[in-house]
Chain A
Amino acid sequence: SQQGEEDPQALSIQEGENATMNCSYKTSINNLQWYRQNSGRGLVHLILIRSNEREKHSGRLRVTLDTSKKSSSLLITASRAADTASYFCATESNFGNEKLTFGTGTRLTIIP
């Protein structure tokens, strides 16, 4: 079964607005990662946050992690048309199984 569920499934916003996507997961984790996928392409790693971290920034990206609620959020500020893509969270469980389990993804559309 899917480890991560993302919310919303699809999001459309005007260019310049902020976009927030949420990810919930079921089991304890070592880290949580966010990836971007442009249509028909491979995934690109955006940011990794470890279980002992609560917030992380990278450029216009801000990720938060709440391990008590088993949830994470990705905020993209000042969105651009080039941010149009699908965004996936992925978790590494702390069972030591060496793999990531991906969430269902959020399809983000930035309207110019």
Chain B
Amino acid sequence: DAMVIQNPRYQVTQFGKPVTLSCSQTLNHNVMYWYQQKSSQAPKLLFHYYDKDFNNEADTPDNFQSRRPNTSFCFLDIRSPGLGDAAMYLCATSMIAGETQYFGPGTRLLVL
């Protein structure tokens, strides 16, 4: 089945230790998104790619970076995680920007 896959599902890291979250898709969608969602809050867009074109939200901290080496994969790098970065990180894709998005199951990040 076509889907959006996120690994790992749970990630524990230490304060200040870099961490990378991964997302892959078999939907062959042009657009990929990374969201941060804290408990009982709405998903907050961090960045999105339209093909290889990278779009960073104005309020996304510099501590967060992303890579999309090919259509299928996208990575979220957190260079120096702080306690406030503990959250669920959601990856999503869409064929057409602004249309229906397909979400992965998320990676829950815990920072110790």
By a beta-carbon cutoff of 8 Å, the part of chain A in contact with chain B is 2, 4, 30-31, 33, 35, 40-45, 48, 88, 90, 92, 97-105, 107
Contacts and interface: CB of A to CB of B under 8 A. Distances in A.
B106 A45 contact: no
A98 B100 contact: no
B53 to A, nearest CB: 10
> Which bucket holds chain B's interface residue count?
20 to 34
B42 A2 contact: yes
A105 B42 contact: yes
Contact of B98 (A4, A31, A43): A31
B55 A98 contact: yes
B59 to A, nearest CB: 10
A35 B31 CA distance: 18
B48 A45 contact: no
A22 to B, nearest CB: 15
Contacts of B73: none
Interface in B19-34: 31, 33
Given A40-B108, A41-B105, A42-B105, A98 B90 contact: no
18 contacts: A33-B100, A40-B88, A40-B106, A42-B90, A42-B103, A43-B43, A45-B100, A45-B101, A88-B42, A92-B98, A98-B97, A99-B55, A100-B98, A100-B101, A102-B43, A102-B44, A104-B42, A105-B42
A75 to B, nearest CB: 20
Contacts of A35: 101, 103
Nearest to A89: B42
A43 B90 contact: yes
A70 B100 CA distance: 20
Contacts of B101: 33, 35, 43, 45, 90, 100
Contact of A48 (B90, B97, B99, B108): B99
